[in-house]
Amino acid sequence: MASVLRQSSRLPFKHLRASSRFTSLPIASSSALFNRSMASIASAPPHDGEKPFFPDEPENPTVKTEIPGPISKKAIERLEKVFDTRSLNMMGDYNKSVANYIVDPDGNTLLDVYAQIASIPVGYNNATLRKVASSPEMVSSLINRPALGNFPQHDLADILETGILKAAPKGMTQVFTGTTGSDANELAYKAAFIYQQTKKRGGPHVEFTAEEENASMHNMAPGSPPLSILSFKSGFHGRLFGSLSTTRSKPIHKLDIPAFDWPQAPFPVQKFPLEKHEADNAKEEQRCLDEVERLLVTYHNKPAAIVVEPIQSEGGDNHASPNFFKGLRAVTKKHGVLFIVDEVQTGLGATGKFWAHEHWNLSEPPDMVTFSKKAQAAGYYFHDPALRPNKPYRQFNTWMGDPSRAILFKGILEEIERLNLVEHTAKVGDYLYGKLEALQAKYPEEIKNLRGQGQGTFIAWDSPRRDAILKKAKTVGLNIGGSGAAAVRLRPMLIFQKHHADILIDGLDKCFKS
């Protein structure tokens, strides 16, 4: 999608007095139930912040069979004939899944604190999103999906300005949309390379030389310059061809795939608890910053940008302090390198801030911020007009994103605002972290390196028997994910409440006792 200058102000993510309260939708295919649900939204009293967001969701998990059960096994066997199921976690019945609970074909109902790899923001079968999904605007965008670069729909500016751009990080005024998180990062990398070469050439008005044009057709300099993107050890930025060269989390993602000769810097390895290791952690962060600067100056394929996650997610939920990221911003400015913050997994409130990099209090914003997952859309935000390519078709594909996803993003934002879910997630995260600290004291061998304090519900710990715990969790009605080599990571939805936290802690206690 062509980048669009935002004219509207940022969305004020503060609590609006709602005239409604959600009623969940146990049977998504029932139009009568949907109409009754929407009627209850219109007449329900204001939500007081303590009562359930979804009064009709299950009170507790229910496990009726082993997982997978007999019906799921038959469905998996059938699917396996036409689709690779080797990465399958569990089968879902999404017609019956509700709010924080995922239901499988055998009727097992699990509290979902993994949420489709951190990508469900406001619950399964959310009534308001169903209303958005059935709107005439959505129907039109789905059946007439436009090639946005060539044939944008007449109201695209309004869709962006009232949705994606309304949620833009502070200082960001423009957006380029894509399809997935990997796609968002690759588009940002392309923007960085084009920006640096345009500047080197003398500005956007300077034409390409015949030598550049000819060399590019042979994948050679100067048309294909020896530039790079610097990423970090254990980082994850996607599985597509370009983004994969910046992904450093697991070999299984990268084996047999040709890669670019791009540098990786060490990411700080923190010691926990943080308050007992301040000096050591500060020294480790400085070591990493020094190596970043060395690579920026000496690496043979000059970095055009660095890309970093606020919390390394797939690589093991690895954290660093705001001072480390301030240091990265400073060193990129010093050396004229662009600063890309990958908020694909951390964005949209999970850390108790709408964007995780807000925790850093930077003096000036990143150059680009990529997003996807909970946004149900994808792309990158930016603010410098020079990051727009100097000619058309330099950033281009058939669809360049999807208006239907942008429309859904707008509905998600309205729900986040209506229920004050960013502030809510910060408070519930503090509550959950305190409960986990108590559980850690009870089971010190099961919960190691507990981390994520003050980061909403973006919480993790290391477990010496991680895979066994994740498997056991399903037997007590919990769907939990892992990351890295040993981390148990929590990725609940923004509608996760204190009573859900109590259910989670009780289930974990049962797992640790086994």
Instruction: Please tell me which residue in 112, 342, 402, 462 is annotated as part of the active site.
Output: 342
- According to the model, what pLDDT value does residue 35 have? 44
Report pLDDT digits (tens) over 444-474. 999 999 999 999 999 999 999 999 999 999 9
**Average pLDDT of the chain, as a whole number:** 91
Q: Provide DSSP, 69-84.
A: -HHHHHHHHHHHTTS-
Instruction: Report residue 36's pLDDT band, with 50, 70 and 90 as the boundaries.
Output: very low
342 labelled catalytic: yes
> Pseudo-torsion of CA 431, 432, 435, 439, nearest 10°?
-170
Residue 166 pLDDT > 90: yes
- Pick the catalytic residue: 398, 467, 471, 502? 398
Residue 358 has pLDDT above 90, yes or no: yes
- Residue 3 reports pLDDT greater than 50: no
- Whether pLDDT at 404 is above 70: yes
Mean pLDDT is lowest, of 6-20, 207-221, 281-295, for 6-20
If one counts every other C-beta atom within 10 angstroms of the C-beta of residue 81, the result is 7
Percent of residues, the chain, with pLDDT higher than 90: 89
Q: Over 206-223, what HEC string results?
A: CCCCHHHHHHHCCCCCCC
Domain spans of the chain, in order of start: 70-125+420-513, 130-418
Quickly name the fold that domain 70-125+420-513 has.
Answer: Aspartate Aminotransferase, domain 1 (3.90.1150)
Write down how long the chain is.
514
Model confidence at 14: pLDDT above 60: no
pLDDT at 10: 40
Q: Is 236 a catalytic residue?
A: yes
Q: Is 158 a catalytic residue?
A: no
**Does position 70 have pLDDT exceeding 80, yes or no?**
yes
> Are residues 260 and 294 in contact, defined by beta-carbon separation less than 8 angstroms?
no
Q: Note the pLDDT of residue 51.
A: 86
pLDDT tops 50 at residue 189: yes
Task: Tell me if 312 sits within 8 A of 235, measured CB to CB.
Answer: yes
Residue-level pLDDT at 472: 97
**Residues 130-418, CATH architecture:** 3-Layer(aba) Sandwich (3.40)
Asked if 398 is an active-site residue, the reply is yes
Q: What is the pLDDT of residue 185?
A: 98
Alpha helices in 208-269 (DSSP H): 210-216, 241-244, 251-254
What is the spatial distance between Cα 99 and Cα 53, in angstroms, rounded to a whole number? Answer: 9
CA distance 270 to 459: 15
Task: Report pLDDT for 46.
Answer: 40
CA angle, 192 as apex, 206 and 291 as ends, to 5°?
A: 125
pTM for the structure as a whole: 0.90
Residue owning tokens 């089971």: 443
Burial of 288-318, coded b for 16+ CB within 10 Å and e otherwise, reads bbeebbebbeebeebbbbbbbbbbbbbbbbb
pLDDT at residue 32 greater than cutoff 90: no
Which of 236, 267, 458, 496 is an active site residue? 236
Residue 363 corresponds to which tokens in the numbers above?
């003096």
Query: Are the C-beta atoms of 130 and 28 separated by less than 8 Å?
Result: yes
Report how far residue 339's alpha carbon sits from residue 369's, in angstroms, rounded to the nearest whole number: 9
Q: Which residues have a Cβ under 8 Å from the Cβ of 469 and sit 6 or more positions away? A: 446, 463, 480, 488, 511, 512
- pLDDT above 60 (res 21): no
Structure tokens at 279: 């000096």
Annotated active-site residue in 353, 373, 374, 410 = 373
CB-CB contact of 141 with 407 (8 Å): yes
- On the question of a common fold for 70-125+420-513 and 130-418, the answer reads no
DSSP 295-362: HHHH-SSEEEEEEE-SSBTTTT-B---HHHHHHHHHHHHHHT-EEEEE-TTTTTTTTSSSSGGGGG--
* Residue pointed to by tokens 């690895």: 318
Confidence of residue 436 (pLDDT cuts 50, 70, 90): very high
Q: What is the pLDDT of residues 92-127, one digit of tens each?
A: 999 999 999 999 999 999 999 999 999 999 999 999
Mean pLDDT value across residues 376-382? 97
Q: What is the DSSP letter of 62?
A: B
Q: What is the share, in percent, of the chain residues with pLDDT greater than 70?
A: 90
CB burial of residue 125 (10 Å; 0-12, 13-18, 19+): buried
Q: What is the pLDDT of residue 50?
A: 67
Give the tens place of pLDDT for each residue, 294-348.
Answer: 999 999 999 999 999 999 999 999 999 999 999 999 999 999 999 999 999 999 9
Higher pLDDT, 21 or 72: 72
Q: For residues 53-81, give the mean pLDDT.
A: 96
Q: What is the pLDDT of residues 192-206, one digit of tens each?
A: 999 999 999 999 999
